[in-house]
Amino acid sequence: MSKIVMWFRKDLRLDDNTAFSHLLKQSKETDEVMCIFQLNPSQFIKKSYNHDAFFLSVQTFYKELRKRQIPLHFLYGDPEENFTALKETFDDWDAVYFNKDERGFGRVRDQKLADFFEQHQIQIHAYQDSHLHGVEEITKPTGESYKVFTPYYKQWQLRSKRPYKKQQVIERIFPEIGHPLFDEGKKQFNEIIKQIKLPFDYECGETVAEDYLKKFITNGLHEYQSKRDYPLADQTSKLSRFLRTGELSIRKVWHAIQAEPESTGRQTFISELCWRDFYNMIYFNHPKQKDQEIKEQYRELQWHYDEQLFEKWREGKTGYPIVDAGMRQLNQTGWMHNRLRMIVASFLTKDLMIDWRMGERYFQEKLIDYDSASNIGGWQWAASTGTDAVPYFRIFNPTTQGEKFDPTGAFIRMYLPELNDLPNEYIHCPSKMSKKVQESLGFYLGDHYPKPMVDHQKIRPEILAFFKNS
């Protein structure tokens, strides 16, 4: 008999959990399995929606495991110090199972811990679980990594995907280990939960995730292509937050999509799943991308750092309604429609010429579906500094974007109630109202709603020169 550790991280489910499934198959009935969740305070972004939402998901997972008589033990502190103490306490611990991280902080941590496990003769069973294809699975015939999405997508489509395997009834005894080693972790976890104060409802857990998947397939999948860009229609899947916590298996999503008849909506959604793999691969190949532009020629750009302008952007007070509605949706709900993410990112980087890293970090705090690879990829795309990014001369016009994707202004009015009484002809550009019109409406720019903080029509020559002179 030996002790085996199942180390849960961003895989908060039992269903189709690759590492957990392999553990059940490969271990002996007599082996003692300790389920561990390691709390590393250096990763915390306290008082952020991102942090609070994630730990509510951990709490839900903890309770679900308890219902199944599976104790989840918490460790708190530096990962290597925690696992050193665990090995010293349980000398017969000789194997660890986990779903690995392939990029960013998690990748560095896993590499460091792998050395520790090997030094202590602890067998490592690490698996790629979070994506349909791992970071090194889709390459050019030469073995090089792709830098452009379209050829990557063509290869990605040809590759078979791992099947979804529903978790069967678990006939296994998991010991409740009442050891002082876990006391601090449990105490710290309870303190984290106690301090969570999200200003919106947050549903989480495997069951909720499955419900969202079913609703999307029934009501949104086949119209995804035609309606996904309209924030009022809200035809996006809303699955991203469950994928980032691992409450939903990506293979379960793939299996459900494949069972549906062909449609343009279905194919477009499949391409979005590929984008997720693509950005994961890009982060693996550009490990410094959170702080450094991928395109070398843009690493010396003289971005602006005007805190007052940045604050107005954050608060949704730019004077451009579609931008402000998007930012207020983020601030009020912890989520933002994908079309709006592109619009507000373009506005910050192209209209204000503010460093994309400032926007990326704000999104990291506020998004309940924050995924570092996709978020950084999206920001570098908007800033024209990333791989396969939008050309620097393509600058979203916030007014025409609003007119196109929120034609009646209904979404804008939802988040900017101060504009409720504006006629449709002015809802996307209140600054066009004459003084006479403002008087007739009892609505005054600068008092009831900000004047535009920049003149978008005049910014184009500046941004072109900004990039050309880099």
309 is in an annotated binding site: no
Taking a C-beta distance cutoff of 8 angstroms, is the pair 196, 52 a contact? yes
Alpha-carbon span 45 to 344, nearest angstrom: 23
Residues 70, 66: Cα–Cα separation, whole Å:
5
Distance, in Å, from the CA atom of 390 to the CA atom of 277, rounded to the nearest integer, reads: 19
The answer to whether the annotation marks 239 as part of a ligand binding site is yes
Tell whether residue 277 is among the known ligand binding residues.
yes
Q: Is 115 annotated as a binding residue?
A: no
Which sign, positive or negative, has the C-alpha torsion 227, 228, 230, 236?
Answer: positive
32-39/72-76 β-pairing: parallel
Q: Exactly one of 137, 254, 260, 275 is catalytic; name it.
A: 275
Answer yes or no: is 149 a known binding residue: no
- Among 7, 313, 356, 381, the active-site one is 356
Whether 76 has a binding-site annotation, put simply, is no
Please state, in angstroms and rounded to a whole number, the distance separating the CA atoms of residues 258 and 261: 8
Query: Cα separation of 302 and 358, whole Å?
Result: 14
Q: State the first-to-last Cα distance of the chain, in angstroms, to the nearest integer.
A: 63
Who contacts 395 (Cβ-Cβ below 8 Å, separation ≥6)?
A: 346, 350, 351, 459, 460, 463
Residue 135: which region, alpha, beta or left (left: phi > 0; alpha: psi -120 to 50)?
A: alpha
- Under DSSP, the state recorded for 369 is T
Catalytic residue among 184, 223, 303, 403: 303
Active site residue 50: no
Helix (H, G, I), strand (E, B) or coil at 262: coil
Q: What is the DSSP string of 314-345?
A: HHT-SS-HHHHHHHHHHHHHS---HHHHHHHH
DSSP calls for 389-445: PPPTT----HHHHHHHHSTT-HHHHHH-GGGTTS-HHHHT-GGG--HHHHHHHT--B
Instruction: Please indicate whether residue 338 is annotated as part of the active site.
Output: yes
- Token pair of 166, please? 């529903």
In the residue annotation, 203 being an active-site residue is answered as no
204 is in an annotated binding site: no
105 marked among binding-site residues = no
272 is in an annotated binding site: yes
Is 238 marked as binding a ligand? Answer: yes
Helices (H) and strands (E) counted in the chain, each on its own, are 21, 5
Is 211 marked as a binding-site residue? no
Q: Which residues of 95-127 are buried (b: 16+ CB within 10 A; e: fewer)?
A: bbbbbbbbbbebbebbeebeeebeeeebeebbb
The response to whether 369 counts as a known ligand-binding position is yes
Residue 426 assigned as binding residue? no
How many other C-beta atoms are found inside a 10 Å radius of the C-beta of residue 368?
Answer: 25
372 assigned binding-site residue: no
The residue type of 467 is F
User: Which of 7, 93, 335, 379 is labelled catalytic?
Assistant: 379
The answer to whether residue 313 is catalytic is no
224 appears as a binding residue in the annotation: yes
What are the CA-CA distances from residue 96 to residues 114, 129, 252 (Å)? 10, 16, 25
Q: Which of 203, 223, 272, 403 is catalytic?
A: 272
Q: Does 236 count as an annotated binding residue?
A: yes
Active site residues: 272, 275, 303, 338, 356, 379
Annotated binding-site positions: 224, 236-240, 269, 272-279, 369-371
Annotated binding-site positions for FAD: 224, 236-240, 269, 272-279, 369-371
